[in-house]
Structure 1
């Protein structure tokens, strides 16, 4: 009787059904694809059948510290056994050697050094070239190297015909002579250094099937030389651009987007001065936290005509969207701009989410006035107020004729502003169906006043809609 039969007999005698033992090896390998490589290797101790099964799994998923063992350090902190980095390197070499004649579906690993040595770029190149030759579909590689202008990624990455998704973090890229990535659909570039503007532009334009692009940039990187980031793609559907907000490294940079099929756009950067969006007719949703490099206490100057034109053109490229997520900082820039030029009407906008980093409300009604067909409004507030802010909602008040649903999260500490905000919505929304107010019971305001008093005051506010329900939820924090 072989081992598989013994397992099945044991299962029958115990009354349990052993479904796993009936699965073919090919299906078991597909199940193991969902596990990190270190756990896949551990499965080899289950039985003789599982002993070599991990070698057939077409996925490498490793983290450098997976090979760190407890007790390998002396009192001085130095390892007294073989370096976990060396163990990591040895295993990757062995794994790739076992799969050299087969296709590799996915590669995901972080090469974390021991803090005393730089990663071996020649070794990384060899690994990358090997997995690319194995017709890999998915690559995620994260580097923990000191910043350098030396490329850690081989040029062969630019001409992989099978690559479907690519995520790189903390690496330096070479300047490509030619890019052809016909299968690539998802590209994530996290703190990736390119030698010049053209290198990144060439990479993006060479991904002819690209649908999702995510770029994050470091504010403090001395090697980030990009002054104009151009995204030109005929296939792109979703683009996210984030940049650190450290004001000590303020540089006027530009992002130019030419993607006629783009549906979702997220911009999160206070250091970028200019955002130019071309062919924006397909945009459906935007998530924006930008100030056109006006952070650090600088205010919008109506006499600055280039800045006015820049903001006007940006508003003109997003006014047809249906769903907007916006920060209070961006609203403040638009509010200052509206004092010299009117905001465009967002006639298609039906859903608006506003995230407040501070508690100044003077710009919100002004923006709502430009949303004649808004149906849903979500406001997310800070828990603790800024005592230096002046609370005001300037008039005249507009009728929110289309608003149906409102949710206000974590209201402020101040009774006057809170009452004004809720009153403004209830008294100016003729078809409002529901207003949900989620309060934070830990704030000082709620400790001074009883919950019952707060509820009575809120319920007593007059409302223009006869069918509106006010729902109050109090969080205990």
Structure 2
């Protein structure tokens, strides 16, 4: 009898009941679904009752480093162990259904991807009627596709998350169950391939496209609710049938390096941005980068921005010092209730910043949070003043003071400056964390 068995028997003799081990295999598998495969296999040493349960868990979640032993420089033997384990696991599930397949970083830094192996695994999990695939590797320099064409017609696939792979060109796409599609650093043979993939996902609700480097992205997904676009090198974005869209996360510049390079005389670019804004103006929740705001600010100098009348929550990520476009965008959000400002970099102390007037009244704003710690710089205080002096129904402004940059006396000075700022709202609380 092993030690785990002795513990279990001893527990029963003392009157304690091991209720988990007494559960049927089907329920134990449901519990183990919340663990990574490496930890699921470890459970096999608990007792005889647990020895073979891992073989029935319909989920494979592995990273290649799970098989690398500390101090072992033989990466080939580690990779061979990994391949044998995955082949055995998939073989045990032959004829069954696989809930989820996730494998990250299949190759090491010194070796080209084994496309034949990847195709074999992918084709196998697709035959097992997999529901969720999360696969990543660094094979972006490879001209050969790592993902087999069979993935385009998987009837059971509900979510697909790919990183760093090259796709084949689809002749036909039918993914009726796919609701979530996430593509990061994924290479398609042409723009039409991506467009065909998206249009073949009739139930698609979430779409993330990150680091896409083709000329154009056409999105036709009538049920789409959440859209993330982080693709600075893509020049054109066209969204069709956007009536269901609720939330967008944007870090795009339409191949422009910044709003200062926006050319009002570029009529095709103006039309494209106008159509893009017209396809998202009904959303309720926006996450946006400062460089995207800067493009919209440049566009607004020649054409007015549409009113985002449904927008209630705005999250802005500032990665540089162009603050002047924030009030401009807020002017187009008449029903905004929540604003979050994230400051990614320190402002240049040698430059004079100014939020130009007239400052619009933020008539609906109720909650504001500035995520990054304040250092008491002039432009930071101008932003706080702008919010407090122009928000008549503001309920709460949450701030954080920088830790370690100021002595207690200097922090007290900042607090006094905050207290001295006039507030348009009589019920506003300023919370300093």
TM-score, normalisation: structure 1: 0.80
CA displacement, residues 71-130 of structure 1 (integer Å, 9 cap, x when unaligned): 433xxxxx3x97111122222222333332433333222363354543433333333333
Q: SS at 1:455's partner residue?
A: helix
Shift of 1:391: 0.9
Q: How does 1:256-405 map to 2 (within 5 A)?
A: 256-295=218-257, 299-382=261-344, 384-405=346-367
1 CA distance for matches of 2:376 and 2:358?
23
Consecutive unaligned residues of structure 1, counting only runs of 5 or more, are 74-78, 220-226, 228-252
Between the two proteins, the alignment pairs up a number of residues equal to 433
Note if contact 1:331-1:364 (Cα within 8 Å) is conserved in structure 2: yes
Q: In the alignment, is residue 191 of structure 1 matched against residue 185 of structure 2?
A: yes
Residue 247 of structure 1 corresponds to none
CA displacement, residues 420-459 of structure 1 (integer Å, 9 cap, x when unaligned): 333333233222223233222444xx44962222222221
Q: In the alignment, is residue 216 of structure 1 matched against residue 213 of structure 2?
A: no
1:420 aligned residue (382, 385, 388)? 382
Q: 1:179 to 1:420 in 2, by over 3 A?
A: closer
Shift of 1:53: 2.8
1 CA distance for matches of 2:227 and 2:140?
31
1:177 aligned residue (147, 171, 189)? 171
Q: In the alignment, is residue 129 of structure 1 matched against residue 91 of structure 2?
A: no
Residue 255 of structure 1 corresponds to 217
TM-score, normalisation: structure 2: 0.88
2 CA distance for matches of 1:383 and 1:172?
34
Residue 28 of structure 1 corresponds to 28
Residue 430 of structure 2 corresponds to 470
Note if contact 1:359-1:382 (Cα within 8 Å) is conserved in structure 2: no
Residue 162 of structure 2 corresponds to 168
Q: Which shifted more, 404-413 or 23-32?
A: 404-413
Q: SS at 1:286's partner residue?
A: strand
Residue 147 of structure 2 corresponds to 153
Cα root mean square deviation, aligned: 3.1
Q: SS at 1:326's partner residue?
A: strand
Q: 1:459 to 1:42 in 2, by over 3 A?
A: closer
Q: In the alignment, is residue 455 of structure 1 matched against residue 415 of structure 2?
A: yes
Q: SS at 2:401's partner residue?
A: strand
Q: 1:426 to 1:120 in 2, by over 3 A?
A: closer
Shift of 1:271: 1.9
Consecutive unaligned residues of structure 2, counting only runs of 5 or more, are none
1 CA distance for matches of 2:173 and 2:422?
63
Q: How does 1:195-210 map to 2 (within 5 A)?
A: 195-210=189-204
Q: 1:275 to 1:389 in 2, by over 3 A?
A: farther
1 CA distance for matches of 2:421 and 2:71?
65
Q: 1:356 to 1:190 in 2, by over 3 A?
A: closer
Q: 1:195 to 1:361 in 2, by over 3 A?
A: closer
Note if contact 1:166-1:187 (Cα within 8 Å) is conserved in structure 2: yes
CA displacement, residues 297-324 of structure 1 (integer Å, 9 cap, x when unaligned): 8522223333322332222222233222
Q: Which shifted more, 431-440 or 404-413?
A: 404-413
Q: SS at 1:22's partner residue?
A: coil
1 CA distance for matches of 2:26 and 2:387?
60
Note if contact 1:43-1:54 (Cα within 8 Å) is conserved in structure 2: yes
